[in-house]
Chain A
Amino acid sequence: GQNIDQPTEMTATEGAIVQINCTYQTSGFNGLFWYQQHAGEAPTFLSYNVLDGLEEKGRFSSFLSRSKGYSYLLLKELQMKDSASYLCAVRDSNYQLIWGAGTKLIIKP
């Protein structure tokens, strides 16, 4: 079956760095996405990886290792507004998005 695992909840301090991991087992691979979702709101796109390596976009970076079925989202210089859920999704061989349950990130002052 298809499966995406990510931690349920993480806590970090304002100004610090946090890494959210995602491991996946899917039928084929055509890219991995990270989304941010504030409570009760729509998910919004953060990053896309299809090749191995690190993609950097401002305070956010995303890493992919296809051989390990592993990705992480790195958030630097954390701000209170970064408190949200972070969703990992993999596009499978049928070009369908398979979603993880999300990681709730709590930022403390």
Chain B
Amino acid sequence: DADVTQTPRNRITKTGKRIMLECSQTKGHDRMYWYRQDPGLGLRLIYYSFDVKDINKGEISDGYSVSRQAQAKFSLSLESAIPNQTALYFCATSDPGQGGAEAFFGQGTRLTVV
């Protein structure tokens, strides 16, 4: 089983619909992140959380919200989806206490808003 699991893997939704992307991890890391990736652009940070009570906006948080339900779960919501939110979304975790503290990624959710 993957250490960081995202659901769904693929989703097509209509403009104006609310959609939730879920992420769960078994690595025991406190820090979790949501990124989006668009062709030709780097990974862009949407929101991040350093523990259950801590939520922070990233560089592109407008139009998104998150919920940290537990250490292992971090959900991303699009309250009213729009076509330019079509992208590949990644959840990631990290633990700054571990050496290089690299980020571990889920397999991604490909979201299409029509």
Interface residues of A (CB under 8 A from B): 4, 8, 31, 33, 40-45, 48, 50, 87, 89, 91, 95-97, 99-102
Contact B96 A95 (CB under 8 A): yes
Closest Cβ neighbor of A100 among chain B residues: B42
- Complex Cα distance A96/B35, Å? 12
Apart from A42-B90, A45-B104: 20 A-B pairs, beta carbons within 8 A: A4-B42, A8-B40, A33-B103, A40-B108, A41-B107, A42-B106, A42-B107, A42-B108, A43-B43, A43-B90, A43-B103, A45-B103, A48-B100, A50-B100, A87-B43, A97-B45, A97-B103, A99-B43, A101-B41, A101-B42
CB distance from A26 to the nearest CB of B (A): 13
Tell which of B41, B45, B102 has the most Cβ of chain A within 10 Å.
Answer: B102
In the complex, B105 has a CB within 8 A of chain A: yes
Binding site for A on B (CB under 8 A): 40-45, 48, 88, 90, 96, 99-108, 110
Tell me whether B105 and A33 are in contact (CB under 8 A): no
Residues of B contacting A99 in the complex (Cβ-Cβ under 8 angstroms) = 42-44
In the complex, the 4 A-B pairs of residues with the closest C-beta atoms, listed nearest first: A48-B100, A99-B42, A42-B105, A45-B102
Supply 13 A–B pairs (Cβ within 8 Å), ascending by A: A4-B42, A33-B102, A33-B103, A40-B108, A41-B108, A42-B108, A43-B90, A48-B100, A95-B96, A97-B45, A100-B42, A101-B40, A102-B42
Instruction: List residues of chain B with CB within 8 A of the CB of A102.
Output: 42
CA distance in complex: A10, B44 (Å):
23
Q: Nearest chain-B residue to A43 (Cβ)? A: B105
